[in-house]
Chains A and B, each alone.
Chain A
C-alpha cells in the first residue's frame, strides 16, 4: 500500500492512498486540529466526491473504530512488561499552576525523577516535548518513572 503525503502550505497535510478495490481515500489534517475525510471521485481522480469534516475528537473516535492502536494502551502494556516502572496520563486541570507555563519552568525531572515522554493535546500526540513546550489546560501529560515519582508529578501538576 502506497501512502502519499502532500503538504498543503498554510493549511496542513494531506495523506491519501488507493484501496485494493481501486478507490482513492484521503485525510486532510488541518493545523487547527480539524480533520477531513475525503473520498475521491472515481470518474475524476483529481476531485473529491465526498468530504466529511471531523473535529479532532471525532477523528479520534473514528480512528479508534477503525482499529488504530492507541498509544496509551500500548504504554499500559509496556507498564505490565517492566516492573517498577509506572506510566500515567495526567490531566493538566483548568486551575493547575502550570497551565500556560513551560515544561522547563515545571522542572519535573529534577524535582520528581520522572520524565515527561509525551503530551496529548486536542487528539494530537506531541512526542518528547522540549523544555520550551508550554502546557495548556486540558493537556494529558504522559509521565514515566517510579511509582512515587509519577505520584509526585500528579501532585506537582495539581498544586505546584
Chain B
C-alpha cells in the first residue's frame, strides 16, 4: 500500500513537472501548449515511450473536472446580453463559419464510412476554432486594436454559443439508440437548454447573489461546488456536464464573474492540462501514423475554409483586403473544443477517430498561432496593391497624403455593426 502511494506521487509529480517544462517551451516558441500536452499523453500511455500506470484514476477524474472548468470560465467571459447581441448582428457570419468549416468534417466522416454519430461529431470538430489560442495570439501580436479583431471575436462568440446547442444534441444522439429515442432526447435536451438560458437572462442577478460575498476561499468553494452540482445535474438529463457549467458561467455576471475568473483561472489551467494529457493517454499511438495523412488532408481544407470565413466576415464589417486576410488567418487554430467533442464519443465508434482527431488538433494547434504571423507579409502586400489601385482610379487624389485612408475606412458604408458612434464633444 505504502509503495503504491509512493509510485503514485512520483509518477504524477513527474507528469505535472514535465507538463510545466513543456508549457514553458511552448511559451518560448510562441506556440500553444496544447499539442505538446497531447504528445506527452501519447508518450505516457500504453504503447507509448514511457507508459505510466498509477495516476490513471486521478487523471480520469481530473480530465472531467478540466472540461467543466474550461467551459465554466468560457461562460464567465460572456454576459447573456453580449451573447444575444452578438447573435443578432453576426448570425450570417457565424452561420457561414459553421457550414463552411463543419461540412468538410461531415463529408470526410461519411466518405470514410464512419457511422452517422461520428459524422455529426466530425462536423463540430472541424467547425470550432479555439477561442483560447486565438485570443492569446491576438493579444501577443498586439492586434486587439485592429479593426478586423471585433469580427474575429464575434465569430468566436457565435461558435461558443453554437456549442451550447450542439453539445447537448450530440450527447443525446450518442446516448440514444434508434431514431425515435434520439429525437426525443434531443428535444428534451434543447428544452432544458432553453429554460436554463432563460433563467440566465432573466435571473442572472439572483443566481449571482447565491454565490457572491465573503472571502476568496468561501467564494472559490461555493462557485466550484455549484459548478459541479450543475454539471452533475446536466449530465443526469443528458445535457452533458460541459454545457451545464458553460451556462452557469453565463448566468454569473458582473463583479463576481471577474473575481471568479481570477480565482479559478489557475485551477482551470491545471485541470485543462490534465484533460489534454488524458486524451493523449487514451489514444493509441500505434494508429497515429495512418491517421496522420487523413488529418493532413482535413487540416489543409480546414485552413482554407477558415481563411475564407474570416475574409467574408471582415468584408461584411467594411475591413480592407489586408485585414480580411488577417482575420481569416487568425481563425485557423483549433484546439480544446475539438478534443472535448471527440472525448464525448464513448464506446468503440471507430478505431481511427480518436487518433485522426488527435493528429488534426496537433497540426491545427501548431499551425493556428503560426498562420497569423505567416499571413502578415501577404496582408501587407494586399494593402499596398489596394492603395495603388485606389490611387490610379482616382487621379486627383494621387497626391493626397497617406493619412486619408483612415477616414475613408471610417466613413465606408459597411462600418462594423458593433460600432456605436458617440460623437462626444471635448469637455
- Co-assembled chains A and B: yes
**A residues at B contact (CB < 8 Å):** 1-11, 14, 16, 18, 21-24, 26, 28, 30-31, 36, 38, 40, 42-48, 51, 53, 69, 100-102, 105, 132-134
**Are B326 and A2 interface neighbours, CB within 8 A?**
no
B137-145, B280-288, B293-301, B334-342 - the one binding chain A: B137-145
Contact partners of B323 in chain A: CB under 8 A: 44, 46-47
Contact partners of A51 in chain B: CB under 8 A: 142, 144-145
**Are B209 and A132 interface neighbours, CB within 8 A?**
yes
Residue in B144, B322, B380, B404 whose beta carbon sits within 8 Å of that of A14 in the complex: B144
CB distance from B93 to the nearest CB of A (A): 13
Quick one: closest A residue to B425, CB to CB? A1
Contact partners of A18 in chain B: CB under 8 A: 406-407, 410
How far does the alpha carbon of A9 sit from the alpha carbon of B142 in the complex, in Å? 16
**Are B144 and A36 interface neighbours, CB within 8 A?**
yes
B35-43, B102-110, B146-154, B231-239 - the one binding chain A: B146-154
**Are B404 and A22 interface neighbours, CB within 8 A?**
yes
B365 at the interface (CB under 8 A from A): no
**Are A31 and B144 interface neighbours, CB within 8 A?**
no
**Are B406 and A45 interface neighbours, CB within 8 A?**
yes
**Are B144 and A10 interface neighbours, CB within 8 A?**
no
B403 at the interface (CB under 8 A from A): yes
How far does the alpha carbon of A53 sit from the alpha carbon of B423 in the complex, in Å? 26
**Are B255 and A134 interface neighbours, CB within 8 A?**
yes
B396 at the interface (CB under 8 A from A): no
B349 at the interface (CB under 8 A from A): no
Residue in A46, A53, A69, A102 whose beta carbon sits within 8 Å of that of B213 in the complex: A102
CB distance from B314 to the nearest CB of A (A): 8
How far does the alpha carbon of A134 sit from the alpha carbon of B215 in the complex, in Å? 10
How far does the alpha carbon of A6 sit from the alpha carbon of B143 in the complex, in Å? 14
B401 at the interface (CB under 8 A from A): yes
Contact partners of A30 in chain B: CB under 8 A: 144
CB distance from A131 to the nearest CB of B (A): 10
Contact partners of B404 in chain A: CB under 8 A: 22
**Are A10 and B383 interface neighbours, CB within 8 A?**
no
How far does the alpha carbon of A110 sit from the alpha carbon of B196 in the complex, in Å? 38
Quick one: closest A residue to B145, CB to CB? A38
B17-25, B186-194, B412-420 - the one binding chain A: B412-420
How far does the alpha carbon of A101 sit from the alpha carbon of B154 in the complex, in Å? 36
Residue of B408, B418, B421 with most chain A CB atoms under a 10 A cut-off: B418
Contact partners of A48 in chain B: CB under 8 A: 142-143, 145-146
CB distance from A32 to the nearest CB of B (A): 9
**Are A132 and B212 interface neighbours, CB within 8 A?**
yes
Contact partners of B401 in chain A: CB under 8 A: 22
Kindly identify, within residues 186 to 244 of chain B, every residue whose CB is under 8 Å from any CB belonging to chain A: 209, 212-216
**Are A1 and B424 interface neighbours, CB within 8 A?**
yes
Contact partners of A22 in chain B: CB under 8 A: 401, 403-404, 406-407
